[in-house]
Structure 1
């Protein structure tokens, strides 16, 4: 603990539990303050600073979620919060999501009766990383005119994030991600320039440039690896543009890339905004032998309708479900059900946001076909992507050949993880 003593706020309407938590806090070196109600807690939080708060979700007439909302409104995001409740496991998991959604710091979620060792561990402050400073200057300076100049000066390009086939461990494709580097600002995030392009009606120009770049730069990857596909995101604002299939076909013809080597990714929300037009566009793309993927599946409000009504060939499970499936049974059920639905519609299943061996083993076990994420590789410039893909596929082939030798046996698929 610090020489000045960190402060612990215990919010609980149960006297016995307040005393118990307070004693453990004192042993850990905290200056402990208690509050028996929502009102008492908000008064203390308004005038004092606390490093840790232990919060029972049941507070009589008010509840702990209301207090969490108060903490977020006052921007007390540095305070570590330990949730305590007698509620069932599903409610506790949902409460974790509330805390994450409010962007608060969660020290732990403990169920009653309290395990004192777990309580002690949860109350101990984690090592804090220094705050990361960010500047909003680029977003203030980026104008539609600057985007047009960037397009004219060829400042936009793509990076490739490899996609791994889970049956073989080989790289079977890549997602092309839009990038923009400027002389004055350096790299500008798509989170900055895409909304500006959307609002100013420039998404057609940006998309055409990104698609052309993806096909011209990805052609070597496609030529070297049989069946290799490049995926490109298509803005929702273009899903009412009936000329889109012809423009995509013309770009493929110009870049000398086979239509089957391209997959266009469309979010379910944008696809369902105007179902009839989206269906028109998707059917024409499929007729031209271009793959179509429903992206961020499960994050919108019409997932089942999108699958039933629109001719997608691929389903991408959103990373928010993949990242949560290791420790959250509810997320696991969503991933499992999504795979089953995709298979029922004869669709390929891609899991995005794979960041751990545990997540990889889960998605492989339940039948995902392809995975991408930082566990394998981040997005890479073309030359780096070519080297990475070549090295990985060579290693996979060597290991497969070694595994085929009777006297040696061989590694399981986990050897191909990264």
Structure 2
């Protein structure tokens, strides 16, 4: 067998279907191996490597979801999986969500009786690209002391992702995203430095730095665009710090930015960790005319309680719901219900993660006020953001930007 020969594992307790899938796999150039049961499949997966697996959800006494969990536990996420079932569409959609939650690669979900053309398409793996050169991860090299040094050397900065008003097509705000560039490691992502800062009790210093950077870099955007707001995420660990409102107010004063130009974003889970203190802080922020947004709405366990007990002015629907709403009716219902709840509490609604015209049309029809996502623009450095927003708003004034993305300024 050639070293580059691709391998297909067919897991199905139906002999006829195993033979059918195997034949199609052979025509596509796979070396095909069959497993008639859950136990046979797990044994093969432990001993051998496969690029793709065709999996029937019904496996006698066991089921395919158990095998999906096994694949995730054994860190086999690189293998593409084609799910097959005679169950109804709602179960297939739910199964895909289970797989997504396990970070598995789903090549397709096919219902019985099998459409052979769809099966063939699902089994065709994309052309494998040469592996990219991987830079060494800096995660094990970043220390609290290095973060402190980075703060002292002004290595932290922000990028802006525009927020678009759906009624007018104009940019009405931006989310400021924390960035860190180092000489020795290059760009260090927030997923690495934020947890280290949290553990080392450095989030107050990091947050103050990011907030100052967002306000100073975003001052021109605020001055040139009436009503423009810049959103900054606040760590949950700071929601027990009762001096936070005064510190934020002092930063705004130093940067000569009006309080109404700031939107503080807080995830619902962290907001509910200590409701009384969070409420104390949020109320004082609102009194100072600073906006407050509940971020990643719907991903925690206390969404309704957070809306009822805490004084948020904006609700951000998590991108995991927005990205699936154009193809998943259940996701669309969640977005619809979230908008209705926000309106009932007099809140503005922002949809995150808008990546297609279909998703944009749905969130507009449902009643979202503002959208952000790659359909419009990724996060941009200050000068590029200023040019992009100016271009976008000029187009909106001419009636050209309400439904289409704007090309990024060079």
TM bin, normalised by shorter chain, reads: over 0.9
What secondary structure does 2:140 align onto? Answer: helix
Equivalence for 1:362: 362
Structural mapping, 1:10-409, within 5 Å? 10-132=10-132, 134-135=134-135, 137-398=137-398, 400=399
Change (3 A) 1:55 1:132: same
User: By how many angstroms is 1:392 displaced?
Assistant: 1.0
Residues 181 and 27 of structure 1, relative CA distance in 2, 3 Å threshold: closer
Q: TM-score, normalised by structure 2?
A: 0.95
- SS of the aligned residue for 2:323 comes to helix
Q: Which runs of 5+ in 2 are unaligned?
A: none
Relative distance call for 1:204 and 1:61 in structure 2 (3 A) is same
Q: Distance in 1 between matches of 2:157 and 2:49?
A: 47
Out of 199-208 and 38-47, give the one that drifted further. 38-47
Structure 1 stretch displaced more, 337-346 or 37-46? 37-46
Q: Distance in 1 between matches of 2:168 and 2:239?
A: 35
Note if contact 1:396-1:416 (Cα within 8 Å) is conserved in structure 2: no
Residue 11 of structure 1 deviates from its aligned partner by: 1.3
SS of residue paired to 2:139:
helix
Counterpart CA distance in 1 for 2:270 and 2:4 is 53
Cα distance in 2 for partners of 1:3, 1:397 equals 59
Structure 1 residues 83, 312: closer, same or farther in 2, change over 3 A? same
Cα deviation, 1:78-131, whole Å, max 9, x if unaligned, reads 332111111121211111122222222222111111112111211222222344
Asked if 1:414 corresponds to 2:408, the answer is no
8 Å CA contact 2:298, 2:317 repeated in 1: yes
Higher mean C-alpha deviation, range 94-103 or range 373-382: 94-103
Distance 1:242 1:329 in 2: 42
Aligned partners of 1:169 and 1:417 also within 8 Å: no
CA distance in 1, matches of 2:260, 2:191: 29
CA contact (8 A) 1:354 1:373 kept: yes
Greater shift in the superposed pair: 230-239 or 21-30: 21-30
Partner of 1:404: none
Q: Partner of 1:139: helix, strand, or coil?
A: coil
Q: Flag the 1:88–1:241 CA change in 2: closer, same or farther, 3 A.
A: same
The answer for unaligned runs of 5 or more in structure 1 is: 401-410
Are the structure 2 counterparts of residues 142 and 310 from structure 1 closer, same or farther at C-alpha, using a change threshold of 3 Å? same
Q: Find the aligned partners of 2:277 and 2:225 in 1 and give their Cα distance.
A: 34
How far apart are 1:265 and its partner, in Å? 0.3
Kindly provide the CA deviation profile for residues 203-224 of structure 1, in whole angstroms up to 9, marking residues without a partner as x: 1111111111111111111111
Deviation at 1:135, TM superposition (A): 4.4
Given that 1:203 and 1:238 are in contact with CA atoms closer than 8 Å, whether structure 2 keeps it comes out as yes
CA distance in 1, matches of 2:239, 2:375: 32
Distance 1:187 1:32 in 2: 43
Q: 2: CA distance between counterparts of 1:145 and 1:9? A: 49
Give the 3 Å change call, closer, same or farther, for CA 268–4 of structure 1 in structure 2: closer
Residue 234 to residue 219, structure 1, CA distance change in 2 (3 Å)? same
TM-score (norm 1): 0.93
